[in-house]
Chains A and B, each alone.
Chain A
Amino acid sequence: MSNKFEKFAATCGFFFKYFISFLFIFFTYNLFPQENIEFQATFNNEATKLNKNYSIRKYHFNIKKLKFYVSNISYYNRKNDEIFTDEKVYLVDLNNPKSLKIKSQINKKSQLYSFDLGLDSVINVSGSLGGALDPIEGMYWAWQSGYINFKIEWESNMCSNDNNQFIFHLGGYKKPYYNKRTVLVKKRHIHRLIFNLNKFLKKINCDRQMIMSPSLKGENISNLIVKSFEFKK
């Protein structure tokens, strides 16, 4: 008798545990709903892969690295009042497929949202922070304190010299080179944020193939990056 009762109690306990977990997830989701924001890089309208050759007319391009920080995802209502900000920092890395999808806490009343490409000055002067901000991620300038906001490296035969390497490490958190850029997404239900490499590379010339410190050229490239983003459902 007691054996049967014990089995019954154990079964009830088992289902009760799952029921509690279900309730917890259900309420958490409704209290703090989340949505995926997906980053993509495209070349000729297809998802870009690292170390693969792509062509635009007579030139070839081979992307070696593409990493950038996304921070300060902010949601606004119809009147453009900010109603919620996700204060997490995300490191998006084409070499890490998991990092391309950001699970951001959303506000259902919002109509549009924005995100920052890069990091603000407070983060840049806060010392060691760990996580996505760990210098081990290769996004920190040790020799001149500050985070690299956007890193893109590729090879191409587009310049008539022996150097086929392009290395752009873009950052800077104080004047005159405040490198963080805000990107506005005008509709909240748009979740695919696409960095169009055709658009970006079309505007790149050969006058400077390396940018590895805050600079005016770096600022111009960052403006071009913002313009190269497209938004799709």
Chain B
Amino acid sequence: MKVFLKLALFYGIINVFIEESLFNYPEYFPKTKYDFSKNNLSKTKIELGRMLFYDPILSIDSTISCESCHSPYNAFSHTDHRLSHGINDKIGKRNAPPLFNLAWKSSFMRDGAVNHLDMQSLVPITDSLEMGNSLDNLLYKLKKNQKYITMFYEAFGDSTINLDRVLKSISQFELTLISKNSKYDRFRLGEDHFSDQEIRGYELFKKNCSNCHKEPMFTNYKFENNFLDINQVLLDSGRFSITKNSDDFMSFEVPSLRNLSYTYPYMHDGRFSNLFEVLKHYSGPKFNSVSLTEKETIDIISFLLTLNDKEFILNPENKFPVNKLLK
């Protein structure tokens, strides 16, 4: 019994050590929301998830992958595209959000329709405007593919390919997309300093924006109505479509402000193509408390640019798995 307990303890310690080496973040980040005990991170599962993320095999006609709308160079969003793209040149209903720091989130999609990271990828896979696939067909395609048979074996110890394993592997890769190396982060760690303009912008940011875009994740993870008029073509009412609560009409998830340079256009429908347009909206008559001068606007933007994480977007571990996918 004692031997068994010792072995269990040893296994637990090893697991914690492995997890820490695969998933680490600064001390000033809050506690994660994702329950790693139900999906222990491993190198082989992350690698499998990366492969699935970049492989168009997920779509019905093998033309669209997750990366199609979530490119690493765009902090896993789709820069310069207002709405997401799908199979047969179909256009989706929303602007593809960037993907990073997902372990801290407990709801997904702009309206919070999805309650767990593991279940999120079901939406694009089955949406007729995105990958348009059926789950049966997805598994059929994967089971026929020798590369995946081998990779599932390496990741799980046997070559069974099922949806649970597919979803959890994609989650594993997505969980490792951590943006934590911006100038702001270095500033927090005392490794860099802000210019006078950035400090002025930071102070203005704290006064006017930090209620919703709370540091250090730059979101409060809530749904807010920021007084956007409803798009008359898309008729997207946001969180209201999920809760049917009139208070939620035109409420959308507060996005993180990290990596803004790589993730334009902005808002749920990509209606603003640059940060000046965004700040003009917030300085408008609907926001009585915020009235920014041109200089203040530039100062705030200068601070926001310190949230860009170039190291994150260039991280080779996050990129297209050339050796495996093109072999």
Chain A interface residues toward B at CB < 8 A: 124-130, 134-136, 140, 142-146
Contact = CB atoms under 8 A, between A and B. Distances in A.
Given A130-B163, A145-B114, A135 B122 contact: yes
B163 A125 contact: no
A49 B249 CA distance: 44
Nearest to A121: B115
A217 to B, nearest CB: 12
Contacts of B117: 127
B114 to A, nearest CB: 5
Contacts of B163: 128, 130, 134-136
B135 A135 contact: yes
A129 B162 CA distance: 11
A136 B38 CA distance: 20
B167 A128 contact: yes
B119 interface: yes
The 3 closest A-B pairs by CB, nearest first: A127-B118, A130-B164, A142-B122
Contacts of B171: 127-128
B126 A124 contact: no
Nearest to B119: A145
Tell me whether chain A's interface is mostly helix, strand or loop, or mixed. Answer: loop
Contact of A128 (B123, B127, B168, B242): B168
Tell me whether chain B's interface is mostly helix, strand or loop, or mixed. Answer: helix
Interface size class of B (residues with CB under 8 A): 20 to 34
A136 B117 CA distance: 17
B126 A142 contact: yes
B124 to A, nearest CB: 9
B139 interface: yes
12 contacts: A128-B119, A129-B164, A130-B162, A134-B164, A135-B135, A140-B119, A142-B119, A143-B113, A143-B123, A144-B113, A145-B113, A145-B119
Contacts of A145: 113-116, 119
Contacts of B89: none
Nearest to A177: B244
B191 interface: no
Contacts of A144: 113-114, 242
B229 interface: no
B116 A125 contact: yes
Interface in B1-45: 35, 38-39
B38 A126 contact: yes
Given A127-B35, A140-B119, A145-B113, 9 more contacts: A127-B38, A127-B171, A128-B163, A128-B164, A129-B164, A136-B139, A142-B126, A143-B113, A145-B116
